Structure 1
Amino acid sequence: MNSKMLGQQRTGSCLHTPCSSRQRWQTNMQLPSRLQAEVTSSSGSSSSSRSPVLILPGFLSNNTTSATSQYRELADNLLQLGHPAAEILPASTWDWLPTLSGGSFGWYVERLAEAVQRLQAKHQRQISLVGISAGGWLARLALGSEPYAGKVWGLAPSVHTLVTCGTPHHSFEAYPFGRAEETWLVDQPQDAQMEAAALQEASTRSSSSSSSRITTSLQYANHHYPDASSLQPTRIVCVIGSAVTGKRVELAEVLKLRMSVADANYAWFVQSSYQANCGQVEVDGDGVCPVQTGLLPGAEQLVLPGVWHNAEPGKLWYGSQQVVQLWDSFLP
């Protein structure tokens, strides 16, 4: 995919169920005139007319100088497009470790809320959020009006737009290494609606487990905020790359040298990621998140062929300059 990647409006059926009345865009060879005009307008906007932006890194991100170069690239591209600020929410590997053994993401949401309040006070206007991978669904917990980690955050009135990039909104979380039940959810009483939602989700997964409890923060987010309308007045935009179709790795192909070991390893990674997220392998996605998993019902949706989940040499990702120009047109 070259640097002239543009797009066209798509009015057919949505890949995600249920299909919404929101507009969906799929890139191809040229932008719709409306989006092209907005990209041009955004590029020429002064910093005083645009929103400050808070970038929300994904799961296990480590904000060291070397590890955050991809987020720094994204922030710099947003500044060049006229935003008065583009900050990266700080996070370290040590911050995430408790979540691997049943801890909540309360530390992340609290840090997010503090940054939103500080940016809004400084710039005296609503801000925009850009959630990369898990950062997108964690933002929903901060925007919503239900208590999370012992507090109602309710940031929706302070946030004009949330753009999620490669966010597994409806992941099955069926990871090869498992997903620890979160202690705060296991220990608290759950009402009949939450129990019914948990059973419904288990049924959707065709899982052997029939748990009647919501046990993870993502399940909690999907129960309370199942679609974009549940987060009003914040505008929700879901951006998802469609760079690779999953392929089952057959040992016979490797043994017959039809597939190199490196290709087999990568195919296995994509297979495992897609399987964990949506229960299927041969679907399109960004190499980590399947398209169908990355779209929240009711949100505006932008599908980007050739765009990958992570920044890698020679590949476009959500923070690449020409890609940022596409989804930045949705930001004030």
Structure 2
Amino acid sequence: MNPLPTVILPGYLAGALEYEPLRQTLEGLGFPTRVVPLRVRSWLPTLGGRPITPILKVLHTTLQQTLQEFGTDRVNLVAHSAGGWIARIYLGSVPYGGQVWQGRDRVATLISLGSPHTSRERWTKRNLDFVNNHYPGAFWPQVNYVCVAGKVIQGQRWGLGSLRESYLTWLAYNSYQLTAGKGELWGDGIIPIEAAHLQGATNLTLPDCYHSGRGGRRWYGTPEVVEEWAQYLL
């Protein structure tokens, strides 16, 4: 039995090109994969906490095209960072942006990679409150939820070590606090573990895994890391 096609949803303010190496890695593992064709400018209408309807529309079109291309009725969805909670809106049955998306009928497995499923940051809180009030945890029983978190940096208000290490732990502290309300947590440098996991999901914590691969760092899209979570696409 051939695996279902996979669609990658980029993270906030990220374009599709950034995820081309991840697409190639998944293809090499035998998973036919497409990337939602976003550009950085695609996100501009969503700034300031405005609805992410423009992203949902492109996601929906990409899923429909992928279903038609492969002659299947469902796909797997891999969503990085904010893409994880955006995907949860897409699965839902409550109108958002004037439309009922009901993506749960088209998605078999949702894998979120370093996604902030909670937030105290005022620009994202409204959207995330919508998600968590209407669809808490691994809400839809017909969807297989897999939430992947990285464990590489513990946040510290006053960083220790070299200047670079101090900056990274300070940055993590402030990001974790915005996301989870506590700074001295472990996470991927941007998202703490407890915010990246969902109750009722298959929750994975991967060591030495950063939020993004910028600067050549080991992240969710590094080939050996992909192999650890891609098994859940079967």
For residue 89 of structure 1, what is the aligned residue in structure 2? 36
TM (normalized to structure 1)? 0.67
Q: What SS class does the counterpart of residue 55 from structure 1 fall into?
A: strand
Which structure 1 residue ranges, 4+ long, deviate > 4 Å from structure 2? none
| Pairs within 5 Å for 1:224-263 | 224-228=134-138, 230-249=139-158, 259-263=161-165
One-letter code of the match for 2:55? Y
For residue 61 of structure 1, what is the aligned residue in structure 2? 14
Unaligned runs of 5+ in 2: none
Q: What SS class does the counterpart of residue 83 from structure 2 fall into?
A: helix
1:122 CA displacement: 1.7
Size of the alignment, in residue pairs? 233
Cα distance in structure 2, aligned partners of 1:134 and 1:75 = 18
Cα distance in structure 1, aligned partners of 2:185 and 2:62 = 37
1:105 CA displacement: 0.2
Cα distance in structure 2, aligned partners of 1:288 and 1:306 = 13
Unaligned runs of 5+ in 1: 1-47, 181-214, 251-257
State the identity %.
36
1:150 CA displacement: 0.3
Q: Quick check: 1:243–1:308 contact (8 Å CA) kept in 2?
A: yes
Q: Quick check: 1:133–1:168 contact (8 Å CA) kept in 2?
A: yes
Cα distance in structure 1, aligned partners of 2:35 and 2:66 = 12
Higher RCO structure (Cα 8 Å, ≥6 apart): 1
1:79 CA displacement: 0.2
1:297 partnered with 2:199? yes
Q: Quick check: 1:140–1:231 contact (8 Å CA) kept in 2?
A: no
1:319 partnered with 2:221? yes
- Kindly tell me: are residues 102 and 319 of structure 1, through their superposed partners in 2, closer, same or farther at Cα, counting changes over 3 Å? closer
Q: Quick check: 1:62–1:93 contact (8 Å CA) kept in 2?
A: yes
Q: Quick check: 1:170–1:293 contact (8 Å CA) kept in 2?
A: yes
Q: Quick check: 2:120–2:179 contact (8 Å CA) kept in 1?
A: yes
Residue among 170, 177, 185 paired with 2:118: 170
Superposition RMSD in Å? 1.8
Cα distance in structure 2, aligned partners of 1:164 and 1:102 = 21
Larger Rg: 1
Residue among 104, 114, 120 paired with 2:67: 120
Cα distance in structure 2, aligned partners of 1:169 and 1:111 = 21
One-letter code of the match for 1:331? L
Cα distance in structure 2, aligned partners of 1:111 and 1:239 = 24
Alignment deviations for residues 119-151 of structure 1 (CA, whole Å, 9 cap, x no partner): 112212211000000001100111111111000
Q: What SS class does the counterpart of residue 147 from structure 1 fall into?
A: coil
1:267 CA displacement: 2.4
